[in-house]
Structure 1
């Protein structure tokens, strides 16, 4: 008897590559990407090739997601230490001989100019997830202390650049891994209570602390100015408070239903600074109003929810921690961006995922989505 081996067709091979992808997650990302293209066309139609470049960046992010999704979680775990070590080494190199632009030393020229802090947005959850995986079932307080040290070194180097926005994103990614690894509430509550007390004291003492001759020491002067501007934007309405004030005016002028697509006056008369990047949510709120804003918020919540579902069903501790942390990265991006544009958080330069223009951020988001898809595929393989 002669055995007949039938080779799979090209279509079957391609379908095998996407088999196991999480459909609801892919749908949520697709809808957010459509929203991003829609508002980018409106806010950036007179901004050179911004719309075309944004679409190109989305295609690049999709390609990266597709490639990373083919890498099994076990392989991703083997990357953790090398990628983390490379990221920290490059941050040290930035501190020694990095490029300085606008008073910040954040870039490194290695033939091409790169921003090494972006690597840590992915390297940090990878490293900490691998750290806790190797200690599964025997976690001690010392393990959590070491995890905080692993987190603290790159965060400190990034803050020294200074880059408060990226430091916040890396810190939140690392803290989410530590929290989901089983950090006890009695260790969480004291710093949370202390932070809340600090915020209340800051609000109460704002008239004194924000005087021109007061040095906060723990923050750079421009960071102090951002906090003081958040507490009282009217202190410098045509200078440091201009961004926040114009953002709130644009969102408020959108009302309940919005002014309509391409009808945003604050946007098209160029009152909104950075209307295609950090403050694109203000342009969106002006044109699509409260209803549009709530739909966008719901889209991000669904994206984070699907990520957490994937985490809850992951077969290993590494996969669970990594998926949960990546999901919280999306939450932090969206929460911080919308918060700073709405005037409830300081302006720290964090983009809105899939909506704001930015090639580097889109690459990071594509890599993060690829990780989630890889973990979703591994769940399917285990069940089959």
Structure 2
């Protein structure tokens, strides 16, 4: 059975190994950091771990099925995804569940899970941009046919996400700009898009429902010595956790700050990993994400079609930028955000959508490998005939 699954597993083998490694790290870190959460819920830590394990296994299954689908099919559903995504984002802002003073989630009836619509929006926008940029190359300078729909999609999705989740919106906007550069959009048009994004950002910062929180977080990051210690509680305890880790760490399960850090199993899980596994563990995790980016860039440079290259680039940039943003917050290089560490932080649907993104990247990688196998097979047939 295992051999049969391995024979049907295609794509970059290193990315499969990276996913397995990150999943194993996630299980260890989540098990260690959910003691306080289990106490609050009145359940055992093992119960939370088993739910997380189910999500991890479900994510790997989704990744397997996603990588078996020819990546070109995702171009066909990109418009449909955008049509679904924008109303969902609007619905979330108005009727979504309010968690941590933000309306980002839609409860899934009967499951006890919450669906974060920004996860779907990331997939939808990246696939839509990859499809549009690859198909409009001949008229890429045409404002009405090419630039207007691209800029409209980027700005609308950015505004709807940033209204409740500024960090995710900014990262997705940055990935979109990178795709526009790769898609040969002119510097002038990219500048117009950035200007429109800056105007939207300023409007959300000064008029949005979370404007006071954004100002507080920025002030806390820029001038930590001048703010109330309670407002810098999360950032301070993340730094304490990292300082306690030293070179080798306290050892698995020996974190102290997991009892103080809010969201220690999600937003601040990197701080817990460094506390338990030390500088060596922290650098190892950074190295894994850097190696992931390297493997994805190799896929991008070897992809025979523009759509595949843009799709793999957008998804890989999105995953790695999110990872480094999470780790930067933990070590004090950025203001506190609500960005999880991909495939490591405990989560529900976010793990599933991240796994689908990996599956699509592997699908592009599979398309690169299969032509080689066909050529090798033809050469062998010729040799046998001779």
- TM score, norm. by length of structure 1: 0.83
Q: Return the offset for 1:343.
A: 1.3
2:184 to 179, 182, 185: 182
Residue in structure 2 matched with residue 286 of structure 1 by the alignment: 275
Tell me: CA distance 1:263–1:319, structure 2 relative to 1, closer, same or farther (3 Å): same
Tell me: CA distance 1:154–1:231, structure 2 relative to 1, closer, same or farther (3 Å): same
Q: Return the offset for 1:279.
A: 0.5
1:256 to 229, 247, 250: 247
Measure the CA separation in 2 of the matches of 1:135 and 1:378: 22
Residue in structure 1 matched with residue 304 of structure 2 by the alignment: 315
Please say if residues 141 and 185 of structure 2, whose CA atoms lie closer than 8 Å, have aligned partners that are also in contact. Answer: no
Please say if residues 333 and 352 of structure 1, whose CA atoms lie closer than 8 Å, have aligned partners that are also in contact. Answer: yes
Tell me: CA distance 1:96–1:295, structure 2 relative to 1, closer, same or farther (3 Å): closer
Residue in structure 2 matched with residue 124 of structure 1 by the alignment: 125
Residue in structure 1 matched with residue 361 of structure 2 by the alignment: 372
1:152 is aligned to 2:141: no
2:256 to 265, 270, 274: 265
2:341 to 322, 336, 352: 352
Aligned residues: 351
More helix by share: 2
Tell me: CA distance 1:95–1:278, structure 2 relative to 1, closer, same or farther (3 Å): closer
Residue in structure 2 matched with residue 198 of structure 1 by the alignment: none
Please say if residues 246 and 279 of structure 2, whose CA atoms lie closer than 8 Å, have aligned partners that are also in contact. Answer: yes
2:232 to 228, 238, 241: 241
1:172 to 171, 174, 177: 174
Deviation per CA, 1:233-267: give whole Å up to 9, x if none.
34445421000001011101212222222232333
1:72 is aligned to 2:70: yes
Measure the CA separation in 2 of the matches of 1:310 and 1:185: 26
SS at match of 1:258: coil
Q: Return the offset for 1:42.
A: 2.1
Please say if residues 151 and 171 of structure 1, whose CA atoms lie closer than 8 Å, have aligned partners that are also in contact. Answer: yes
Residue in structure 1 matched with residue 220 of structure 2 by the alignment: 229
Residue in structure 2 matched with residue 299 of structure 1 by the alignment: 288
Q: Return the offset for 1:355.
A: 1.4
Tell me: CA distance 1:189–1:166, structure 2 relative to 1, closer, same or farther (3 Å): closer
Measure the CA separation in 2 of the matches of 1:116 and 1:319: 24
Q: Return the offset for 1:178.
A: 1.4
Q: Return the offset for 1:168.
A: 2.6
1:28 to 9, 14, 18: 18
Residue in structure 2 matched with residue 340 of structure 1 by the alignment: 329
Please say if residues 234 and 241 of structure 1, whose CA atoms lie closer than 8 Å, have aligned partners that are also in contact. Answer: no
Deviation per CA, 1:338-377: give whole Å up to 9, x if none.
1111111111100111211111210111010110111111
Q: Return the offset for 1:77.
A: 0.6
Unaligned runs of 5+ in 1: 1-9, 196-214
- TM score, norm. by length of structure 2: 0.82
Tell me: CA distance 1:96–1:38, structure 2 relative to 1, closer, same or farther (3 Å): closer
RMSD (Å) for aligned C-alpha atoms:
2.7
| 42-51 vs 224-233, which moves further | 42-51
Measure the CA separation in 1 of the matches of 2:179 and 2:331: 28
Q: Return the offset for 1:96.
A: 4.5
Tell me: CA distance 1:102–1:378, structure 2 relative to 1, closer, same or farther (3 Å): same
